[in-house]
Structure 1
């Protein structure tokens, strides 16, 4: 059996919520030995999110979703003895990932300068809120705040700012961190040097909006949310069908498709109407045209419109809700909701591994760790004796 892509690499994650856990999860999916370090009392706060939503199941779904393929240990970093544990862990590690603020890392002795002295070849990855420089470099930042700071929250709907769920900034920053880590590992293989890798929620969300930022800053083209009832292109829009399901039209080359679209929709009499004859005048009169199209789409169920529009060569697709994903033929065929036999929850679906490898595919090997589940196991691996571990427990270090 082929080795996993990152098999043999050890990753220490000192993170919480989503950003850092995303990065380490992606590395874990590809075979890295990820060890998650949690506070011995409070742990990762994402463990309690389900209860905050009123769930009575006892599950930790957010924590489970971002912490698969990891082992977990607990440690009280305020105890002097914890430094010995950290030192031995770092000596054996290739990567250290955190999304704690710099002041917290300094106070805990887990800053880059300290850890790189223990292991000069260490790749140290940090995910900040708004970057490591500037007057607000060390403030608390969360996904929703970064969406506002990056201007993303202003791009969703014309009525005003809204958060784009689910945790887009945290997840994208985690992906960027994983990319940076793997790149740094390649550099280390070439040059033999460790280094610090940094990304932020702000930079990640700004990069995610490259198309809009390019239009705004390079093309001086105004960019603003587009109302569904007043689109710039009625064939680049979404419509509700008779069964309450939505259909997605995506034809940016609108004039090319306009004649066939008119035929499919039964509006051939509007094809050469001066208000709608080309993309420019349709944009000026889009509200009137949407008011024509909305009741037509509402007259048939979505599957009928899918068939009709495809027969006429239109570029369209369905709009899924989460409940639709398990039955989507593409999700099924590509195993984008892999199932796993969880020891506590039974057979459950996980989010997908977004990158596939033909020769060395990733694997869903283990569920998220129980609180402190692997503490003794990991400490034994890095050279502590049972007597030392017992002493750590008595001293409330672990």
Structure 2
């Protein structure tokens, strides 16, 4: 039995944050009904190439909408709004990430929905949050990487601010939405009433740079970019070797002593400039070039073998092809074949040693209208 079996979720949203929250719940056993507009459905259906086996539905959509049922409702039509209410009569959770202001305009905002359905857990995903001067602004992940400060601390100091390679704000906001929804479900067991969960890409963006924000508030300093390195641990970054880069993470003084030994300079571990973590951070402009010069003398695999033998954490810098080809990727079994669809990455959680598998692929637009709506 999966942990959310018996839970029904209505997902009114598109793109990534809302659908990801629905996909996580679906993989954990919830019955997720995805509500899409009749004219084209979720915009992400067309976000390709690449496309799935039908040549029309994007791989992106398959990945975020597996295991769901799809119905079409025109939420500008009062009759379809009433159909949504009927779905919510048997639902536990509603997720929506429509453009700010839309749900109030069409009468399905949190106040209206929880008044009519008091046991409903209503999840709103905003761009900039449910209050403040930017409350009504729309937003996409790169905009929040920019506005939320992540770009300012990503990349090398001499380069322009840089996007992360993944939609980190969308994905984490989807996860926080799931956490919030499960929290209110637990509270409902005690009170008998649902409630409202508010998450936003902006608050998630701030959470990602929590350490830098806390540092700025405490010191007034504006954090700088450190390339591949960490701001408060040294060495904790990518280095070039004689052939390919590796990531070295000597996260404490004990590991640093072992690392210095492997690098052929055991004296660095007792050097007053480098012996302790704070000293290494203060003197990294001296230490990092010394480490880099040594690491360039041998190939990556030779260094990894020596470092791992000494118990120093390190890793190759893989491209995506190398990740997928790795023995570890195969061993954890995170790639799954969707029924009637492509292979996609599954839920990164296992229960009692077993990873949930999607019972169905991503739905066709309105595939379950008759089954769910009776039409």
Task: Provide the TM-score with structure 2 as the length reference.
Answer: 0.88
Task: Give 1:240's aligned residue.
Answer: 240
Task: Give 1:338's aligned residue.
Answer: 335
Task: Give 1:377's aligned residue.
Answer: 371
Find out whether 1:211 has 2:211 as its counterpart: yes
Find out whether 1:364 has 2:362 as its counterpart: no
CA distance in 2, matches of 1:279, 1:163: 29
Shift of 1:341: 4.3
Task: Give 1:106's aligned residue.
Answer: 104
Q: Tell me, yes or no, if the aligned pair for 2:346 and 2:357 is still in contact at 8 Å.
A: no
Task: Give 1:352's aligned residue.
Answer: 346
Task: Give 2:174's aligned residue.
Answer: 174
For the pair shown, which has the larger CA radius of gyration, 1 or 2? 1
| CA gap 1:10/1:277 in 2 versus in 1, 3 angstroms | closer
| CA gap 1:315/1:197 in 2 versus in 1, 3 angstroms | same
| CA gap 1:109/1:304 in 2 versus in 1, 3 angstroms | same
Corresponding residue to 1:155 among 137, 153, 156: 153
Task: Give 1:225's aligned residue.
Answer: 225
Task: Give 2:252's aligned residue.
Answer: 253
Q: Aligned-residue CA RMSD in angstroms?
A: 2.9
Task: Give 1:329's aligned residue.
Answer: 327
Q: How does 1:1-398 map to 2 (within 5 A)?
A: 3-51=1-49, 58-157=56-155, 158=157, 159-218=159-218, 223-228=223-228, 234-244=234-244, 246-254=245-253, 256-267=254-265, 282-283=280-281, 286-335=284-333, 337-345=334-342, 348=343, 350-358=344-352, 362-380=356-374, 389=375
Q: Secondary structure at the match of 2:112?
A: helix
Q: Secondary structure at the match of 1:50?
A: coil
Q: Secondary structure at the match of 2:251?
A: coil
Q: How many residues align?
A: 371
Shift of 1:40: 0.4
CA distance in 2, matches of 1:278, 1:113: 55
Q: Tell me, yes or no, if the aligned pair for 1:4 and 1:360 is still in contact at 8 Å.
A: no
CA distance in 1, matches of 2:138, 2:212: 27
Q: Tell me, yes or no, if the aligned pair for 1:39 and 1:74 is still in contact at 8 Å.
A: yes
Task: Give 1:384's aligned residue.
Answer: none
For structure 2, list consecutive stretches of 5 or more residues without a partner in the other structure: none
Q: Tell me, yes or no, if the aligned pair for 2:250 and 2:259 is still in contact at 8 Å.
A: no
Shift of 1:133: 1.2
Task: Provide the TM-score with structure 1 as the length reference.
Answer: 0.83
CA distance in 2, matches of 1:311, 1:360: 31
Task: Give 1:392's aligned residue.
Answer: none
CA distance in 1, matches of 2:235, 2:80: 61
Measured against aligned partners, the alpha-carbon deviations of 1:71-110 in whole angstroms (never above 9, x if no partner) come to 1111222223212321211112111100113421122332
| CA gap 1:96/1:321 in 2 versus in 1, 3 angstroms | same
CA distance in 1, matches of 2:257, 2:141: 44
| CA gap 1:119/1:247 in 2 versus in 1, 3 angstroms | same
CA distance in 2, matches of 1:117, 1:10: 19
CA distance in 1, matches of 2:228, 2:118: 54
For structure 1, list consecutive stretches of 5 or more residues without a partner in the other structure: 381-388, 390-398
My pick for the range that moved more, 355-364 or 42-51, is 355-364
| CA gap 1:239/1:101 in 2 versus in 1, 3 angstroms | same
CA distance in 2, matches of 1:231, 1:141: 29
| CA gap 1:258/1:291 in 2 versus in 1, 3 angstroms | same
CA distance in 2, matches of 1:239, 1:286: 14
